[in-house]
Structure 1
Amino acid sequence: MPDLFALTKAHDVRGLVPGQLTPGVSRALGLSFAHVVVRPGGHEQMVLGRDMRASSPELAEAFAGGVSAGGVDVLDIGECATDQLYFASGKYRSPGAMVTASHNPASYNGIKLCRSDAVPLALGSGLTEVRDLAQWLLDRGEVHGGALAASRPGARRRQDTLPDYAAYLHSLVDLENLRPLRIVVDAGNGMAGLTAPAVLGAIGSGCEMVGLHLTLDGSFPHHEANPLDPSTLVDLQQAVLREGADLGLAFDGDADRCFVVDERARPVTASAVTALVAAREIDKERARGVPATDITIVHNATCSRSVPQLVRRLGARPVRTRVGHSYVKEAMAEHDAVFGGEHSGHYYFRDFWRADTGMLAALHVLAALGGSAEPVTMSELARPFDPYVQSGEMNFTVADVPDVIQRVRQWAEAADPHVAIDTDDGLGLVSVAGQAGFWSLSLRASNTEPLLRLNVEAADAQTMDEIRDHVCSLITAAEAGCPRARSGPQAG
């Protein structure tokens, strides 16, 4: 019997196909979604999208069957990026479901769910109830409806949303009068192969997009669509140098995350991009007459300290959240934030229903680079937003997470009397001795994988190396398991 408790993560459903996530499970989730979210919300329709994985059409078809059995109409937008699904949820004021496993390998698939206007479902905010009813249906063998079958099955129609999605993104960023830019985009055979030509390839102003791995192929024949892993950036980095490009952009499988490589083929941290876009959004709000003190920017627990420092310097208010899109979106709504960013490459915009869209963040980067009064390179543009030396994320397989976190905390309290401690999301440490000796770290369990994630930053390389190496030694000495070190930010 399928176990939805094992499949349901903090923010979505995800598992191996066909071993864990089957058409029957997908149909049960669709029927449950209709009864728990769509109909109680007063909606007669939901929006359904899917990525390019080989298993996605069958899983999407099964989910649609469950929704229809629950008496709800299905607006099927076909293959799309996750942020394109969010766009459709907002445009049509309908709950939505996206069949995707994001950056996971080809053997995985999953389903992301949202309420109308792209409001997320997570454990504690609706996903638990969807999971529990679906499990009940599976246990009783009633995935085809049973007692929950509606007297009138829902209808199904198809809609191409790509042109409207691209036009809407263009309406949110001033792309007039950009200097010509040469942009390399690596879609990794993911959904950016569909959306990047429609959005980035239509900028004009002499800008040219050079595409890599744009063919949609869920087997990922060239490399995984996971720019979180530095090895997947090699093709992009080589192409940027070969083409003499101004920058490179990499997207994950469902194209909701964007990563930037500068003209020297060096990764630009997502924290630097967050700070850059935050500055632009603050300027835009102030130009509308909004006082800086009324402008809020959200950042997650693993973002560089440079992000809140920049926001305060510009007179606006930073708000820190736990890692994960539902937490960021919740904070965005609570504080009416204009923008939010995560160190994992998720970027959230109030003008985009507070949802995450890497493509819109990419447009902001291009507008900043190509629209500057004095031409600058991408590395020059990013430098002021990235003042600290960062370790990149390191991932450890650890059996006893609380014990390891406690050991690191005890070391920090004994070693540095100036350390500030935050336990809202794992363990956050900040040395407050002063700018010269500044360092910080985040140590937290992943929301999506059985890993402990470590990020360290400092004012100088020597301090960063010392803190990173000592904490790594504490982790590996306390627990079996070798670190899986990666130099780039990771998800969830």
Structure 2
Amino acid sequence: MNEGTIVRSIFKAYDVRGVVDDALTESAVYRIGHALGAEACERGLGAVVVGRDGRVSGERLLNALAQGIIQAGVDVIDVGMVPTPVVYFATRYLGTGSGVAVTGSHNPPQHNGLKMMLAGETLHGERIVGLYDRIVADSMYTASHKGRVMQANVLPAYVDAIQKDVQLARPMKIAIDCGNGVGGVAAMEVFTRLGCDVTPLFCEVDGTFPNHHPDPADPHNLIDLQKILHDGDAEVGLAFDGDADRLGVVTKDGQIIYADRLIMLFAQDILKNHQDAQVIFDAKCSAHLSPWIVASGGRPVMWKTGHSLMKAKLRELGRDAVFAGEMSGHFYFNDRWAGFDDGLYAGARLLEILSRCASINPDETLSGHANGRVSERLNGLPQGLSTPEINLHIKEGEGVSLVQAFKAHAAFDAQLNAVDGLRYDFVDGFGLIRASNTTAVVVLRFEANDEVALKRIQSAFRDVLRLIAPTLHVPF
């Protein structure tokens, strides 16, 4: 097979991703499916679950993927249009341990991709590149008898599993925004079955995303939810990304509760029953998080950004790591759930905690459980003065060398953590610089106790960047 038949650039650090009918063609997805099937066959795996999000290209790419997998004699179980966490759930529920979600996550409508798992391991890094190498080398196994393509409806079992696991202390009034993503096929049922009065927003699946982009990490995409909370009687708002493996949260008074603060809330609750357990978080998270985990009786573990890398770390640490979370809004519950990122389940667990708070109506306090109202509970979580992620656009392949040069020239009075890029923790804040694993950008983020400290840390970073890359535009 000629190397030109498939493009190397779609094989990312955490998944396969690209523009449909450009780099990510049906032919490319078929070949990736065949390579994945060949690897599954070599490992003695008999079946792979496949599912897709609500993008316009999803059905035809899923069909191409399935046809590729069965060439290797491996069966395919098609669970249809479902959230990505439902695919993960199905790999356990159906006993395959292996699955592929055809999803573009929060990327623009013309994008799509593949999140892949074999024998319980989410593929990342060299394992993903290995599929490309196999295709280029034409190292594919074609069975004398193709595998079968079968259908299975696991969505009812998934909803049942959440309902059995999560118990709210009282009924709640909530608003949810699915952003026209695939979370809309399950969200209303999940939360009404838990006993919530739900105000839905953009829960109709539409792969063109006509209302706003399905990425709750961007504050602009939460404006509609903030308005619903302001105008209505909902106590809290939940937002999901395009494939519903991430969660965003807005309070009644319109405050966005970013993921590092939600990690605090989840960790505190889980550690009540799992003292001295480990809690994992990525290097973008607040400096307030680690001491909070320690004070809650846990052991903090800072790790690398990326859903595949987080799941690999959870797998490495085993049951001793009870929870993980990322600044992007991925949450991994490893205490009562199966350790995969699941925005809908995370929303349910959040409501379980918040239902112990008093309701908006002061006459509806919950005797013995009330610990303030919902917004007060969320807004009371510690936070510093922080910036959003700042992306510096660079040429392809320059990110690692720029970060290395930064390290060589930085002489800060700070503690350096190099687990994922360079994070410099000062006595009054931190600065982070890391090369993106998916796009040609260098990512920076800053947090400090006050404005003076924030400007000082940013100025120190800016001076080094101007020294090592004088032509680079630095917007701070």
Shared fold (TM-score greater than 0.5)?
yes
Matches within 5 A, 1:70-85: 70-85=72-87
- Contact 1:395/1:484 (8 A) holds in 2: no
Which is further off, 274-283 or 390-399? 390-399
- Contact 2:106/2:242 (8 A) holds in 1: yes
Shift of 1:166: 1.3
> Which of 28, 42, 45 pairs up with 2:44?
42
Structure 2 CA distance for partners of 1:62 and 1:483, relative to 1, 3 Å: farther
- Contact 1:369/1:376 (8 A) holds in 2: no
Structure 2 CA distance for partners of 1:70 and 1:402, relative to 1, 3 Å: closer
- Contact 2:166/2:194 (8 A) holds in 1: no
- Contact 1:263/1:377 (8 A) holds in 2: no
TM-score, scaled to structure 1 = 0.87
Shift of 1:481: 5.3
Shift of 1:382: 2.2
Structure 2 CA distance for partners of 1:78 and 1:473, relative to 1, 3 Å: farther
Matches within 5 A, 1:148-167: 148-167=141-160
Structure 2 CA distance for partners of 1:231 and 1:483, relative to 1, 3 Å: farther
RMSD (Å), alpha carbons: 2.2
Structure 2 unaligned runs (5+)? 358-368
- Contact 2:286/2:383 (8 A) holds in 1: no
Aligned counterpart, 1:191:
182
1:262 maps to 2:247:
no
Aligned sequence identity (%) = 31
Shift of 1:402: 4.8
Aligned counterpart, 1:488:
none
Aligned counterpart, 1:425:
420
Shift of 1:68: 1.2
Q: How far apart in 1 are the matches of 2:251 and 2:241?
A: 18
Q: Can you list the C-alpha shifts for 1:242-296, whole angstroms capped at 9, x where unaligned? A: 11321111111111000111111111010001111111111133xxxxxx22x11
1:133 maps to 2:140:
no
Aligned counterpart, 1:344:
328
> Which of 304, 312, 318 pairs up with 1:322?
304
Q: Can you list the C-alpha shifts for 1:208-230, whole angstroms capped at 9, x where unaligned? A: 11111111111111111112222
TM-score, scaled to structure 2 = 0.90
Aligned counterpart, 1:86:
88
- Contact 2:421/2:433 (8 A) holds in 1: yes
- Contact 2:163/2:193 (8 A) holds in 1: no
Shift of 1:190: 0.3
- Contact 2:49/2:99 (8 A) holds in 1: yes
Aligned counterpart, 1:251:
240
1:8 maps to 2:11:
yes
Structure 1 unaligned runs (5+)? 141-146, 286-291, 433-437, 486-492
Matches within 5 A, 1:64-463: 64-94=66-96, 95-117=98-120, 119-124=121-126, 126-137=127-138, 148-175=141-168, 177-178=169-170, 180-204=171-195, 207-285=196-274, 292-293=275-276, 295-336=277-318, 337-350=321-334, 351-372=336-357, 373-374=369-370, 376-399=372-395, 400-402=398-400, 404-405=402-403, 409=407, 413=411, 416-417=412-413, 419-432=414-427, 438-463=428-453
Which is further off, 147-156 or 220-229? 147-156
Q: How far apart in 2 are the matches of 1:324 and 1:381?
A: 28
Structure 2 CA distance for partners of 1:2 and 1:183, relative to 1, 3 Å: farther
Shift of 1:407: 6.4
- Contact 1:269/1:386 (8 A) holds in 2: no
Letter of the structure 2 residue corresponding to residue 186 of structure 1: D
Q: How far apart in 2 are the matches of 1:483 and 1:169?
A: 45
Q: Count the aligned residue pairs.
A: 455
- Contact 2:52/2:58 (8 A) holds in 1: yes
